[in-house]
Structure 1
Amino acid sequence: MTKLHSLAKRLLGPPAPVSVPRNYYKDLSYQLLLGSSQPLLGAIAVIIIKQVLDGSNQQVALIQAGSMAGLLLSLPYTKYLSTSLPQKDYALPQVLAWIAMILAGFAGDALWFSLLVFLALALFHISSPCQGVLYQQIYEPQVRGTLVGRIKQWQLFLVMGLSWLLGHLIDVSPESYHPAYVLAGILGFITCFLFMSIDTGFVKVPKIERPSFLNYLQILFKDRKFSLFMAFQFLLGIANISGVAVFQVYINDKGFLGLSPDKAALLAGVLPPLAMFLSIRFWGGIFDRINIVQYRVITSIVIGLGFIFYPLFGFWGAFIGSIIWGIGRGGGQLAWSIGILDFAPEGQSSTYLSIHTFLTGVRGVIAPFLGVWALETQFAPQELFWMIATIIFLSAALTGLLVQVPTESRQ
């Protein structure tokens, strides 16, 4: 028993010589439960809609838009909430999200299931900006990156493992999704209250006065470098997000590839996060050596190549495309999360990130429906995937040719 406990500490605990803060395992337990929701609200939810409940492609688009709707709503949420107890601000919407997941486990038709999954996704993401504030309070600066990185690492492994397991279970027994959602929701609901008990060290974070929407527009009009970069990122995002929705329909719909649940889960829920995980160190090294414009061009090209392969060679083309897309997405995450700071003048980082988040939410809500509409009414899959890739390559070219790196940017 002692050996088992020691092994668990080595695997789940922070790497030596970092000491374990008292809040670490509370945070780890909740984040692992949160990770368990990702496949249930992503690739597995699409499989259930298309292959178990015989739902429509528009319902697939609806759940693809859920997280982005939450991201969009996070701006007014974080603008007006009180940050004196940020763990409650962060966790309360998630309590409601776990309840929505429990209800999704009882849903027997595609419409109610997709609506509840959409609601859960939106609620999970509405308080996501609070997480950064929480980590400032929970962990000391000198160990924060190490501890959060270890948590994210195990969360990613959990997503891959659950995606494969749930895909296999649904392939064997389609009705097995009912207890899976109910169990995950109950465990998450309980653990959420454990998370709210985390001691933040009584550090009070002052409420930040955020600019209005008109201030955002003024910045976009005045800062030409930033506005051009945002415009071409918007073009990239529309193409990429719509392409993800099209790919989900393509691998699950019987009119196209119509793969079994376990193979669909492999392509959409296992290979991309695995490729992201294996490539993130490589991308980090590239990010530190070149400027954000060059970096964004390279990552966009890799993402576009994934869409080129999707319609080729049946299952194996989709297999190769999923790996390539996951590699590009791993690099794109860095550009999305911190690359934008290269354009922000000193003292305006939060404002520029808010603009970036808002525009991401807008395109993320629109794009899935646009992609599904184009697949249903306008184009064959190969034509559409290659058109999406062309738009992504165009955004990369325009970014490289027309966007100038700010003089104060990293060199």
Structure 2
Amino acid sequence: MDLFRARSLPFLCRHSYVVEMQHLILWGFFAGAVEGGVCAVVAAKTFNGSFLLITVITATPMFANLVSLAWGVLCRGRRKLLLLTALAGAGVTIAASIGATPRTPWGGWIFALQIALARTFLSGVATVRTSLWRSNYPQRVRGRITARLQYARASMGVVAIALTGVLFDRNPDAFRWVYPSFAFVGAAAILLITRERVRGERAVLRHHARERAGDGLPADRPLWLAPFDVVAVLSPRHLLREMTRVLTTDRRFARYCGAQMFLGVANQMIQPVIVLLVTDRLGLSYFESNGLIDMLPQLLLLIALPAWAALFDRVGVLRFRVVNTIGWLGSIVIAGLAAMAVHGEALLDSGTYFLALGLLLASRVVHGLSAGGGAIAWNIGHMHFSSDEDAELYMGIHVSLTGLRGLFAPFLGAWLYVHLGWLMFVAATAICLIGMKQFRDLAREEGAAA
């Protein structure tokens, strides 16, 4: 029985695809429980979190990505599957520890730290995973395969988000056993991925061995680093040197990253404000808040993925990004109208309440449809510029820049909302337009050169 439609794919990538599908069904269930939106709702309601704590936890998945450059550098010349399982195991272990978090005034900040650490290791998993995709899946079907894998992950994430909302509505202390239970599922997912194979890895390892021998270094590079090697490889100076080398030699990739920076900042600015509007101004429950913030967009992501995958394989990443950014722009504008509706209203009458709720619902619908394209471009867009040997480094740079904007964009959005109210969304709209123009310029240049 061809449950995952593997027979429609090239023969050599079928085994890897089936193994990853089985893995991601369980892994998506675990990862859904540590998503930023879900955890922000838990912080707001279970730990009575302040706007600052909500902003920090909303930003956590983004700024955890800041270390992805380190994961990318660490991955070069090493066996990717072993590194992936080690990083996933660390993330699962930290998530399990949430069950011991005290429900005290400082418990919310301990919870935020645990989520930050778990997401840091999960960002490494994402970096290594995309390197596996480049090795195992041909370019002509990579968009289609990525969409299917993301579909499996996101669908189980929706189940996790819904289940979390129901459980926490019944008992706000459910985190004491919910997170350890999700971690158990994550551990089972790790066992499944150990059956994976990496095509061409021996050739890539030999290539890196020749590079190291030419530099007068030992040809063999083990998975586990000696302490002094850790300092050398993961030092900020070395990481910045690697990033600078790539961004100065590959100017088109640098411009692509710049366009992504504007688009990402605009999106990340509005996320803590959305959580505040939903949980505070509209007073929705755990399940309702999770449904609007995460569950609905994830469901629509699943619906939109096949169409986005077909477009990606047909037009390439640059033209794809232009179309996709139009959707993100629409979601920001509609959310801004919702914020405008409730601005300055101490008590919301029923008309204003339902108007704001309807606009936020429309915004999350457009956001979810756009996220289907974003899930594909974010995971494999960098491969348009990289070689096999540098795929993980390019991904590390791209994801680290995601983390960089996560360090300031949510806080900038929260600060602007406190001081400017709904006008913050005007700033986010302008920033998104700049990113869209940069994607369009890159697409036109590539079309003219073809």
The separation in 1 between residues aligned to 2:310 and 2:326, in whole angstroms, is: 18
- What is the aligned partner in structure 2 of residue 168 from structure 1? 166
**Contact (CA 8 Å) 1:65, 1:118: kept in 2 or not?**
no
More helix by share: 2
- What is the aligned partner in structure 1 of residue 288 from structure 2? 263
Q: Residue by residue, what CA displacement relative to the aligned partner does 1:183-239 show, whole Å, maximum 9, x if unpaired?
A: 111332354345446566895341757996346436545665544443333122111
The separation in 2 between residues aligned to 1:196 and 1:346, in whole angstroms, is: 22
- What is the aligned partner in structure 2 of residue 37 from structure 1? 30
**Contact (CA 8 Å) 1:14, 1:147: kept in 2 or not?**
no
Q: Residue by residue, what CA displacement relative to the aligned partner does 1:381-405 show, whole Å, maximum 9, x if unpaired?
A: x322343223212432454368752
**Contact (CA 8 Å) 1:71, 1:357: kept in 2 or not?**
yes
The separation in 2 between residues aligned to 1:348 and 1:98, in whole angstroms, is: 28
Q: Is the alpha carbon distance of 1:118 and 1:91 closer, same or farther for their aligned partners in structure 2, counting shifts above 3 Å?
A: same
- What is the aligned partner in structure 2 of residue 273 from structure 1? 298
- What is the aligned partner in structure 1 of residue 373 from structure 2? 331
- What is the aligned partner in structure 2 of residue 406 from structure 1? 446
The separation in 2 between residues aligned to 1:138 and 1:338, in whole angstroms, is: 13
**Contact (CA 8 Å) 2:146, 2:376: kept in 1 or not?**
no
- Identity among equivalent positions (%) equals 21
- What is the aligned partner in structure 1 of residue 70 from structure 2? 76
- What is the aligned partner in structure 2 of residue 314 from structure 1? 356
The match for 1:52 among 33, 43, 46 is 46
The structural deviation recorded for 1:361 is 2.5
Work out which structure has the larger RCO, using CA pairs closer than 8 Å and 6 or more positions apart in sequence. Answer: 2
Gapped regions of structure 1 (runs ≥ 5): 1-8
- What is the root-mean-square deviation in Å for CA atoms of aligned residues? 3.7
What amino acid is aligned across from residue 28 of structure 2 in structure 1?
Answer: G
What amino acid is aligned across from residue 289 of structure 2 in structure 1?
Answer: A
The separation in 2 between residues aligned to 1:220 and 1:133, in whole angstroms, is: 19
- What is the aligned partner in structure 2 of residue 98 from structure 1? 92
- What is the aligned partner in structure 2 of residue 390 from structure 1? 430
Query: In the alignment, does 2:237 pair up with 1:213?
Result: no
Give the alignment of 1:177-188 within 5 angstroms: 177-188=175-186
What amino acid is aligned across from residue 48 of structure 1 in structure 2?
Answer: V
Bigger Cα displacement from structure 2, 318-327 vs 148-157:
148-157
Q: Give the TM-score normalised by the residue count of structure 1.
A: 0.81
Q: Give the TM-score normalised by the residue count of structure 2.
A: 0.75
**Contact (CA 8 Å) 1:225, 1:405: kept in 2 or not?**
no
The separation in 1 between residues aligned to 2:439 and 2:76, in whole angstroms, is: 38
What amino acid is aligned across from residue 276 of structure 1 in structure 2?
Answer: L
| Equivalent residues, number | 397
**Contact (CA 8 Å) 1:225, 1:404: kept in 2 or not?**
no
**Contact (CA 8 Å) 1:78, 1:127: kept in 2 or not?**
no
What amino acid is aligned across from residue 53 of structure 2 in structure 1?
Answer: Q
What amino acid is aligned across from residue 93 of structure 1 in structure 2?
Answer: L
- What is the aligned partner in structure 1 of residue 267 from structure 2? 240
- What is the aligned partner in structure 2 of residue 364 from structure 1? 406
The separation in 2 between residues aligned to 1:140 and 1:74, in whole angstroms, is: 24
What amino acid is aligned across from residue 244 of structure 2 in structure 1?
Answer: L
- What is the aligned partner in structure 2 of residue 282 from structure 1? 307
